[in-house]
Amino acid sequence: MSDSDARIQRFAEFLARSGLKTTRQRDRIVRAFFAAGRHVSAEELYHRLQTEDRGIGLVTVYRTLKLLREAGLATGRQFGDTYTRFDPNPADRPHDHLICTRCGKIQEFEDASLHAVREKAARSLGFTVTEHKLELYGFCRECTRLAGGRPVRSGKAARPV
């Protein structure tokens, strides 16, 4: 059973447990989502789906992504642009991000020592931490070279708001 299949199964279980139904649309959206990689928006997913099934509305894509979040199978992220991007859970790959504010590139990374930071903060303040988001904003290698590290207002690239 592929990685993706396992998650699709978990989603089916979530639906059953919640008294919800399995439909052609949900099935296709969920498959497309797990096949899509990372940082997809609802709109992007919707467009990909149009090639295989014209009868899937953008609204249903939004609804299904919301269910995926409730099932704990997806996380939404906002990187400084106006829309939400979605990532599959669980974090089988690094989940922290470097965002270039000049060209908009998003690079993933992971640092094990972050868990120490997380635990320490949680313990000292009595929190139970279930999830974290770390974003580093700045310039990627190319943009550091091109711009000498100085900001360029492009209007396109994500901003750290």
Partner DNA sequence: TCCTCATTGAAAATGAATGTCAATTTCTTT
Partner DNA sequence: AAAGAAATTGACATTCATTTTCAATGAGGA
The residue (of 63 and 105) whose beta carbon lies closer to DNA is: 63
**Which one of DNA, a second copy, none is in contact with 109 (Cβ closer than 5 to 8 A by kind)?**
a second copy
The residue (of 28 and 140) whose beta carbon lies closer to a second copy is: 140
**Which one of a second copy, DNA, none is in contact with 118 (Cβ closer than 5 to 8 A by kind)?**
a second copy
Taking the CA atoms of the chain, what radius of gyration do you get in angstroms? 18
The residue (of 20 and 129) whose beta carbon lies closer to a second copy is: 129
> Where on the chain is the footprint of DNA (CB under 7 A)?
15, 19-26, 41-43, 55-60, 62-64, 66, 82-84
CB of 155 to DNA, least distance (A): 8
CB of 57 to a second copy, least distance (A): 22
CB of 5 to DNA, least distance (A): 18
Q: Distance between CA 33 and CA 36 in Å, rounded?
A: 5
CB of 153 to a second copy, least distance (A): 8
Using an 8 Å Cβ cutoff, are 135 and 79 in contact? Answer: yes
The residue (of 55 and 151) whose beta carbon lies closer to DNA is: 55
Residues in the chain, total: 161
All residues at 6 or more sequence positions from 111 whose CB lies less than 8 Å from its CB, including other chains? 96
**Which one of a second copy, DNA, none is in contact with 14 (Cβ closer than 5 to 8 A by kind)?**
none
Pairing mode, if any, of strands 96-100 and 85-88?
A: unpaired
Q: Distance between CA 20 and CA 15 in Å, rounded?
A: 5
Q: Distance between CA 90 and CA 156 in Å, rounded?
A: 30
Q: Distance between CA 140 and CA 99 in Å, rounded?
A: 8
